[in-house]
Structure 1
């Protein structure tokens, strides 16, 4: 098993630990990872998912799909769900459009802070012999974590959230 596979399994274990640690929490989380392949069917390109890949190669695209479920008969308000970008991968894009009442934010510091895209950071540059700070737009490949905020998770309902990553 390569280092990335171990890292991905550790992330899945972390999510499982998070769900177990919630104990009596009305919110349960489950993570599914799949290898994404583009195939041609009837002359059209389509994505085919292979669940729980045992190995991955540099350049492979993976789907990270998180299901958040409310196990109660009452809606949950202002639910925040976080998912790190697995080590050895880079963030590509969200896996689907967001439903109304769901916002998506990103982190470039391992989940310490979050903000909506496009993220910006300050960099030092030298101009005319002077060092100055400039704001630059952060590339999605620099994202280290994603956070979704759900205005409401319906009673006994669930929502699927996710994104695609590429193996380095």
Structure 2
């Protein structure tokens, strides 16, 4: 089944929202969304030019005859496939943009692959359905006042705190997910970029 149809099915059941009062939302054919947020600035647009532009791509991860990984076109997927999502953020201005945050939701039917988020270390956090972000691996309360790891199939979002994006600079985030289920699409869905009052972005 095509990724476009998978996206339509996922988006028909999931409400995509902006991060805080200022966000730029792009929905890729993968069903993922990339959100660029500049803190303390309700908009990332200046006139007709976006202050921070986001390009989201998706590729299927395969191995060649020698066992080396390759990224190929992901126009269609099936259960068991591994897909890599990459969002590139570009500052279209001549001044630094501060407070840059990147969100990558993980829709139902896709299982986040452990430690695949890049950049990792202290820049990325994950969250399950409760939307409480924390370092990977996530933990939850279990019986007897114990804690246990949250299954990676329950991860629903990744968030990178990228900080400052230099003037005319670019940065990228990526993560991998395993296709668990592919359901037929039943609803046509369109996604638009949310609007907000025009307020100069913090520099």
Alignment of 1:79 onto 2:100:
yes
Structure-1-length-normalised TM-score: 0.75
Quick check: which one's strand share is greater?
A: 1
Alignment of 1:157 onto 2:169:
yes
How many pairs are equivalent?
152
2:174, 2:161 → 1: CA distance? 13
Partner of 1:98: 119
Structure 1 unaligned blocks of 5 or more? 126-131
Deviations 1:68-111 (A, max 9, x none): 111111112221110111331100045565289x700001126x
> Are the aligned partners of 2:119 and 2:174 in contact in 1 as well (CA < 8 Å)?
no
Structure-2-length-normalised TM-score: 0.64
2:84, 2:152 → 1: CA distance? 16
Structure 2 unaligned blocks of 5 or more? 12-26, 37-42, 181-203
Structure 1 segment 19-168 matched on structure 2, within 5 A: 22-24=44-46, 25-40=50-65, 44-51=66-73, 53-95=74-116, 97-98=118-119, 103-109=123-129, 112-123=131-142, 125=143, 132-168=144-180
Where do 4+ consecutive residues of structure 1 move more than 6 Å?
A: none
Distance 1:6 1:46, change over 3 A: same
